[in-house]
Structures are given as structure tokens and as C-alpha cells.
């Protein structure tokens, strides 16, 4: 969780700092003034024209040569990994800005371009000193994972090639990680400046804030812009993350793994610019992929919390119906009793899924609620089956007794419906518990044999 320090800054729960919006904007101005380097093209079109005219070149410090090309014997300290898919209109400007940042930082740096393009992107990148590699698999995450395999630096910087991120702002992120203040530093667009037309309102005011809220809730990330693609990571921390995602959810996985591994995350404000070239993001499809990935890797929120909620509300509704309670003018009776029974059965079923997932999956954020943990650690087939048979027996005995009483009246007086409803509910839960226990035992045995 985040907290506000005495200077009005938010301190990340893992030790990183998330600055307030006012301070972020001030920092952005200060860094912009302090990192000004050599003159570079103002936009992608100008950079592309320079390349076409043969004017783009690998810029180095004349004495120390901080930009490490594939032919250089110098080992890089920083690797800048850039994924590209037909970014010929923006790649030259991005590399120029990386070169300007390198001259400011005076840190040996390589540029790794993980390219799946069919246009001139790789030729432009190679001519400007980039190390171009070609992923064997498509996808945003796959491009980064392949680029990481070829990165040699102690620190890894990532950013897109569409000119939305200004790589001249790289020094302030690099310094946070290199100085040991964070394991991963992120540029915050929502805490900095978003240029007009750079981000659709749906993303700026709904999508990104909502996804960031999910990540902070599920994984205690404590960040203000979880899906900013401009980041610097310590290479050892990156290896600890053990990233696997090949799609757009890769950006979420990095935050999730950082939170799950108690890595320190810090943010600094950045300016987000209008992109150069065609957009490839599908708002709803890619947004859903992020949400799905977060939920699948947080079964405590997906199964355990809803199960407990359904069961508690269901049991309270049942007891209220038995007592004939009245709450805010609502009279509890047969209809509420039926609803309570349904909710209780749903809670039991979803809770079973929580136990199943604890054996069959290896999520990033494992369930931490005491009920699931205790059942998971102490489960025995005999215990579950016995409980199920007892519940089934209690429910069945009551139902049989009701049938006998009904028969004794010559089938003229129906039994009281509410007690019968509760008895049938207990019977159903008993049957589910018996068979779920056997299935869970099979899953547990299979998992232990695999392990």
C-alpha cells in the first residue's frame, strides 16, 4: 500500500516512491532542463528524412564511445531493448534520442531492437548502431523476451519505437536503479504530462486508471501508471521475475511479479507524446487480456473472496428467513429463504474451485485467506468425505421423515416448505462435498507425482 510522507510524496509499500502529481510535473520540468543534449530531429518524419538523406549516424562521445555497437568489444552497462513492428517512421528518432541520453549519462549502452517488421525498420536501426534481433514468436511480450536474451547490460531499459516515449528522459529512470533506490523504475504518464492526442480519453480516464487500481489492489504495487511501457530494470531483478507472457499482458506481468517478489518500484514523471505511425493496440481486446491475466494469477480474488461472500450472505439470509426477520421494511420469508439457499450452494461450489486451483495452478499471487490456506494445508480425503456423508445424511433423514409424515396424512397435508428447502440444501452440499473431496484427492495425488 502507499502512504503520504511529510513532503506530500507517496512512499511505495516496497520501498519505492510514487510522487504526487504536482511534484511529478515539477520534476519533469527540472529533468527536461538538465538533460538537454545535442540537437536531434523534432519528429519521426524529420528523422526518417535524415536517414533517407544519409545524415543519420551513430553518435558517440569522441573519446569514450559510450554507444556500444554489435561490433564493439566494450561491454555495455545499460541495454535499451526496443520492440518494433513496422516502425520505420519512428525508429530513427527513438534511436537518436537514446544516443542523446547516452551522451548525457556517459554510460556504455547498447540498443537491442527486437524486430518483426516487413518494412525498413531493421535497416534503419542497424545503420544507426542498433543490434537487430528477430523473435521466433509473434507478440509484444515475445519481442521483449527475445530482446532480453540478447541484452548484455547490468541494467535493462525498455520503451516503444513509436516516439510516444522520449528516450531523452531515460537518465532519471536509470539513476534510480543504478543508485540502488529501486529494482525497477517506471515513467508515469498519468503523473506527468500527456500531450494532446497522445492518449485516447477512454485510456486516460478509464482504462489505465482502472487497470492500475486492479494491480495495486491485487499485488500491492503502489504505482500511479501500471501500464507505462517506459521502464528501467536491474538485470538481476528481471531474472528473478521469470517473465513468461508473450502478449500485451507482459506489461502487467512485470508489475505483478515485482509485487509478488517484494521488489522495489519507483516512478518518475514523463511526457507522453503522440505516436508516429499506425496504432496496433485494440482497446477492449488488449484490456481484457490484462484483466484476465490478473484474475487468473490471483485466485484468492477470483475464487476465495467471492466464495466467502456468497456463503456469508446466503447463511445470514437463511437465518433471517427462519426467524421471520424484517430489515429496512423487507420481510424475510419463503422467497428470501430460497435466495439464501441458492447463494450458499454457489458459495460452496466457488470455494471448491478455490481449493482445486490451489493444487493445479502456480499463480503469481497465491491465495492468502486463512480459510483456503487451512483447508489446503490440512485436507484429507477421509475428512472431506466424512463431512460430506454427514451433511448428506442429515439432509436425507429430514427429507425422508417429511415424506413419512406426508404419507401418514394420506398425502393430504404437504410438509412445511421452508424446513424442507433447508434440508435439501444441506443434502446438495453434502453430495458436492463427497465428490469434490474425491476429485481433490485425485488432483493432489497427481500433482505430487508430477512434482
Q: Which residue, 39, 38, 79, 48, is CA-closest to 163?
A: 48
Q: Is the pLDDT of residue 136 over 60?
A: yes
Which band of pLDDT confidence, cut at 50, 70 and 90, is reported for residue 378? confident
Whether residue 35 has pLDDT greater than 60: no
| Structural domains for the chain | 3-296 (3.90.550.10), 299-450 (no CATH)
125-134, 136-145, 378-387, 418-427: segment of lowest average pLDDT: 378-387
- Joined grid coordinates for residue 41: 530531429
Answer yes or no: are the C-beta atoms of 27 and 267 closer than 8 Å. no
Query: Which residues on adjacent β-strands are paired with residue 114?
Result: 83, 133
Mean pLDDT of 413-436: 91
Q: How confident is the model at residue 412 (pLDDT cuts 50, 70, 90)?
A: confident
- Would you state the pLDDT for residue 369? 66
Give the number of other Cβ atoms within 10 Å of residue 95's Cβ: 29
Calpha distance 128→88 (Å, rounded) = 13
| Average pLDDT of every residue of the chain | 84
Residue in the structure block whose three cell numbers are 510516444: 164
Q: Which residue has the higher pLDDT, 162 or 49?
A: 162
Measured between alpha carbons, how far apart are the two ends of the chain, in Å? 34
Percent of the chain with pLDDT over 70: 83
Closest alpha carbon to 183 in 115, 237, 250: 237
221-254 burial code (b ≥16 CB/10 A, e <16)? bbbbbbbbbbbbbbbebbeebebebbbbbbbbbb
Mean pLDDT of 206-218: 91
User: What pLDDT is recorded for position 28?
Assistant: 39
* Cell 547516452 belongs to residue: 102
Amino acid at each position: 500500500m502507499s502512504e503520504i510522507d511529510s513532503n506530500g510524496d507517496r512512499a511505495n509499500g516496497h520501498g519505492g516512491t510514487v510522487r504526487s502529481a504536482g511534484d511529478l510535473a515539477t520534476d519533469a520540468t527540472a529533468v527536461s532542463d538538465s538533460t538537454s543534449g545535442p540537437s536531434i530531429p523534432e519528429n519521426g518524419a524529420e528523422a526518417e528524412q535524415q536517414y533517407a538523406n544519409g545524415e543519420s549516424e551513430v553518435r558517440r562521445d569522441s573519446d569514450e564511445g559510450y554507444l556500444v555497437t554489435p561490433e564493439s568489444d566494450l561491454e555495455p552497462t545499460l541495454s535499451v531493448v526496443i520492440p518494433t513492428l513496422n516502425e520505420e517512421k519512428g525508429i530513427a528518432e527513438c534511436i537518436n534520442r537514446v544516443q542523446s541520453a547516452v551522451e548525457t549519462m556517459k554510460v556504455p549502452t547498447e540498443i537491442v531492437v527486437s524486430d518483426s517488421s516487413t518494412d525498413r525498420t531493421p535497416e534503419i536501426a542497424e545503420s544507426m548502431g542498433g543490434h537487430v534481433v528477430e523473435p521466433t514468436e509473434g507478440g509484444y511480450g515475445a519481442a521483449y523476451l527475445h530482446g532480453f536474451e540478447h541484452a548484455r547490460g547490468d541494467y535493462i531499459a525498455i520503451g516503444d519505437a513509436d516516439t510516444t516515449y522520449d528516450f531523452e528522459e531515460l537518465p532519471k529512470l536509470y539513476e534510480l536503479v543504478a543508485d540502488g533506490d529501486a529494482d525497477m523504475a517506471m515513467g508515469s504518464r498519468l503523473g506527468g504530462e500527456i500531450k494532446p492526442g497522445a492518449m485516447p480519453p477512454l485510456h486516460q480516464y478509464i482504462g489505465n486508471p482502472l487497470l492500475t487500481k486492479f494491480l495495486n489492489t491485487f499485488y500491492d504495487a503502489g504505482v500511479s501508471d501500471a501500464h507505462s511501457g517506459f521502464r528501467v530494470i536491474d538485470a538481476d531483478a528481471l531474472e528473478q521475475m521469470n517473465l513468461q507472457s508473450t502478449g500485451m499482458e507482459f506489461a502487467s506481468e512485470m508489475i505483478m511479479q515485482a509485487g509478488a517478489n517484494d521488489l522495489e518500484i519507483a516512478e518518475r514523471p514523463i511526457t507522453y507524446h503522440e505516436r508516429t505511425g499506425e496504432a496496433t493496440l485494440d482497446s477492449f481486446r488488449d484490456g481484457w487480456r490484462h484483466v484476465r491475466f490478473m484474475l487468473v494469477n490471483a485466485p484468492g480474488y477470483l475464487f476465495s473472496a467471492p466464495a466467502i461472500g456468497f456463503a456469508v450472505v446466503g447463511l445470514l439470509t437463511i437465518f433471517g428467513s427462519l426467524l421471520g426477520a424484517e430489515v429496512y421494511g423487507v420481510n424475510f420469508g419463503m422467497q428470501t429463504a430460497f435466495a439464501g439457499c441458492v447463494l450458499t450452494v454457489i458459495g460452496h461450489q466457488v470455494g471448491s474451485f478455490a481449493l482445486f486451483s490451489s493444487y493445479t495452478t502456480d499463480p503469481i499471487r497465491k491465495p492468502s485467506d486463512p480459510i483456503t490456506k487451512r483447508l489446503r494445508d490440512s485436507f484429507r480425503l477421509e475428512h472431506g468425505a466424512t463431512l460430506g456423508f454427514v451433511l448428506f445424511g442429515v439432509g436425507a433423514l429430514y427429507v425422508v421423515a417429511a415424506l413419512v409424515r406426508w404419507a401418514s396424512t394420506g398425502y393430504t397435508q404437504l410438509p412445511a416448505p421452508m424446513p424442507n428447502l433447508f434440508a435439501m440444501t444441506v443434502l446438495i452440499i453434502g453430495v458436492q462435498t463427497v465428490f469434490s473431496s474425491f476429485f481433490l484427492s485425485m488432483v493432489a495425488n497427481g500433482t505430487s507425482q508430477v512434482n
